[in-house]
Amino acid sequence: MPQARKGHWQLQSIVGQLHEARSDWRRQNGRSCGMQGGRELPSREAMAQVLEQLCGALFPMRLGPVDLREESEDFYVGHTLDAALNELLTQARLELRYAARNGDCDLPAVDAKALQLIQGFAVALPGLRRLLDTDVLAAYHGDPAARSVDEVLLCYPGVLAVIHHRLAHHLYLAGLPLLARISSELAHSATGIDIHPGARIGPSFFIDHGTGVVIGETAVIGERVRIYQQVTLGAKRFPADESGQLQKGHPRHPIVEDDVVIYAGATILGRITIGKGSTIGGNVWLTRTVPAGSNLTQANLVHDDGSQK
């Protein structure tokens, strides 16, 4: 089969048209502040490296390099954190410059704010490690197949997703929602677990198996909650404003109180509350609040005539 030559693709014309399309879009959207000919948006690849380094720094003897020895653990953590935080600062500057592109773009002030936010993130890391310890223990105690805490940390996709979420949630609250979303979507791609970084999740949280789990932005999850694969904590409806645009930011996802178990395939929609200590059975479709201590299955949700209890 003969190979196509460069001239076969009319590349000069196509490249010129693509350049024109990009230029038109940038002019229409005011994309100039802070670009100076360079990258405008944070890098997904850079954030993937940052998260890998942060995981290693948080759990060096499990998620760090294979040749790491305990006597050099602190040196590795310090070196790795320095590299990760410097790159995270670069990405934070890009996000904040991007956000300021249509306003009074004071680059020194934007960069100073980025430094302040990443310094706060760094200070929070010891507390995040202690919080993650509760999640790892919850996974170990919640799964009879788990032989050790090391196994769940190394192998369980739900634990990886929660590590990413804890880091992403801090970035989200700090005012770096794009970096937070990139972080959560990297975990989503790797695990099939989709947790919006805005979701508020208490300690000792365990996602077993995990594939297909969806947790929305305004979901609130209490302590010692366990959920299984294909569970959705979603919105029931998406109200629009007068112009027809979807309203953003209002509470629209469930509240799950402490000590709740939600089994595989359950779909829970809207700003409803699942009371403390409740158990929600597999494949249940739920759009109403249930009191504490409830035990719901498909059988006790539906009458013989098909009406809902």
Of 27-36, 90-99, 191-200, which one has max mean pLDDT?
Answer: 191-200
Same domain, 179 and 235: no
For the ranges 6-20, 121-135, 184-198, 295-309, which has the lowest average pLDDT?
A: 295-309
| pLDDT band per the 50, 70, 90 thresholds, residue 32 | low
In a domain, 168, yes or no: yes
In a domain, 56, yes or no: yes
Find the angle CA(291)-CA(136)-CA(284) to the nearest 5 degrees: 35
pLDDT recorded at residue 30: 67
Residues 129 and 241 in one domain: no
Report the pLDDT value the prediction gives residue 183, as an integer from 0 to 100: 98
Is there a single domain that holds both residue 184 and residue 221? no
CATH code (residue 299): 2.160.10.10
**26 occurs within a structural domain:** no
Residue 270 lies in a domain: yes
98 and 180 part of one domain: yes
What confidence score (pLDDT) does residue 46 get? 97
Do the Cβ atoms of 287 and 236 come closer than 8 Å? yes
Per residue in 43-102, pLDDT tens? Answer: 999 999 999 999 999 999 999 999 999 999 999 999 999 999 999 999 999 999 988 876
Decide: helix, strand or coil at residue 255: strand
Distance separating alpha carbons of residues 278 and 254, to the nearest angstrom: 14
202 within a domain of the structure (yes/no): no
**Are 95 and 219 within one domain?**
no
How many structural domains are present in the chain? Answer: 2
Residue 183 lies in a domain: yes
Same domain, 43 and 179: yes
CA torsion angle 164 171 80 158 (round to 10): -10
Give the least confident one: 27-31, 145-149, 184-188: 27-31
Q: Which of 252, 207, 260 is nearest to 234 (CA)?
A: 252
141-169: per-residue pLDDT in tens?
A: 999 999 999 999 999 999 999 999 999 99
pLDDT score recorded for residue 265: 97
Contact between 251 and 234 (Cβ < 8 Å): no
| Final residue before a domain boundary, out of 160, 192, 224 | 192
Residue at 200 is within a domain: no
Domain that holds residue 299: 212-309
Confidence of residue 104 (pLDDT cuts 50, 70, 90): low
Percent of the chain topping pLDDT 90: 78
pLDDT of residue 5: 62
d(CA 4, CA 10) in angstroms, rounded, equals: 12
Does one domain contain both 263 and 217?
yes
Classify 225 as helix, strand or coil. coil
Same structural domain, 146 and 227: no
Taking the alpha carbons at both ends of the chain, their separation in whole angstroms is 67
Cα–Cα distance for residue pair 106/45, rounded to 1 Å: 27
pLDDT category at 303 given cuts 50, 70, 90 is very low
Q: Cα separation of 302 and 193, whole Å?
A: 29
Looking at the structure, tell me whether residues 66 and 97 fall in a common domain: yes
User: What pLDDT is attached to residue 29?
Assistant: 74
| Distance of alpha carbon 308 from alpha carbon 300, whole angstroms | 9
Residue 3: band (very low, low, confident or very high) from pLDDT cuts 50, 70, 90: low
Predicted local confidence at residue 34, as pLDDT: 45
Looking at the fold, whether 102 and 226 belong to one and the same domain comes out as no
**Residue 53 confidence (pLDDT):** 98
> Does 38 score more than 90 pLDDT?
no
pLDDT of residue 304: 43
d(CA 18, CA 21): 5
Distances (CA, A) of 305 to 10, 117, 266, 283: 66, 57, 22, 19
Both 47 and 161 in one domain: the answer is yes
Q: What is the pLDDT of residue 1?
A: 56
CATH for 97: 1.10.3130.10
Determine the average pLDDT of the residues in 162-184: 98
Residues 233 and 163 reside in one and the same domain: no
Q: Which helix (H) or strand (E) holds 286?
A: strand 285-286
Residue 54 included in any domain: yes
What's the predicted TM-score (pTM) here? 0.87
Q: What pLDDT, in 10s, does the model give residues 229-245?
A: 999 999 987 776 777 67
Query: Is residue 28 within 8 Å of 163, Cβ to Cβ?
Result: no
How far is it, in rounded angstroms, from Cα 204 to Cα 260?
Answer: 12
